[in-house]
Amino acid sequence: MKAVVQDRYGSPDDLEIREVDKPVPAEHEVLVRVHAASVNARDWHLLRGDPYIARLMMGFRGPKAKIRGTDFAGRVEAVGSAVKRLRPGDEVFGEADGAFAEYVCAPADLAEAKPVGLTFEQAAALPLAGNTALMGVRDAGRVQPGQKVLVNGASGGVGPFAVQIAKSYGAEVTGVCSTRNLDLVRSSGADHVIDYSREDFTRGGQRYDLVLDLVGNRSLTDCRRALTPTGTLVLSGGGVFEGGSLLGPMGLLLKAQARSRFVRHRLLQLMAVPSRENLATLRELAESGKITPVIDRTFPLSEAPEAIRYLEVEHARAKVVITV
d(CA 312, CA 94): 23
Residue 5: pLDDT band (50, 70, 90) is very high
- What's the mean pLDDT when you consider all of the chain? 90
The pLDDT score that the predictor gives to residue 7 is 86
Q: Give pLDDT, residue 85.
A: 95
Q: Give the C-alpha separation, 246 to 210, whole Å.
A: 28
Query: What is the sign of the dihedral through the CA atoms of 143, 120, 106 and 276?
Result: positive
Contacts of 48 (CB under 8 A, 6+ apart): 9, 10, 11
CA distances, 320 to each of 38, 75, 156, 200 (Å): 6, 20, 10, 28
pLDDT tens digits for 45-96? 887 766 556 555 655 566 777 899 999 999 999 999 999 999 999 999 999 9
pLDDT at residue 312 in the model = 82
Given its phi and psi angles, is residue 248 left (phi above 0), alpha (psi -120 to 50 degrees) or beta?
A: left
DSSP 37-91: EEE-HHHHHHHHT-SGGGHHHH-SSS-SS-B---EEEEEEEEE-TT--S--TT-E
How far is the C-alpha of 56 from the C-alpha of 143, rounded, in Å? 35
d(CA 27, CA 115): 25
% of the chain with per-residue pLDDT over 90: 74
pLDDT band at 103 (very low <50, low <70, confident <90, very high): very high
Q: Which domains does the chain have, with CATH numbers?
A: 2-125+293-323 (3.90.180.10), 129-269 (3.40.50.720)
Q: What values do phi and psi take at 227, rounded to 5? A: -95, 150
Q: Which of 201, 211, 209 is nearest to 233 (CA)?
A: 211
Give the containing element (helix H, strand E) for 295. Answer: strand 295-300
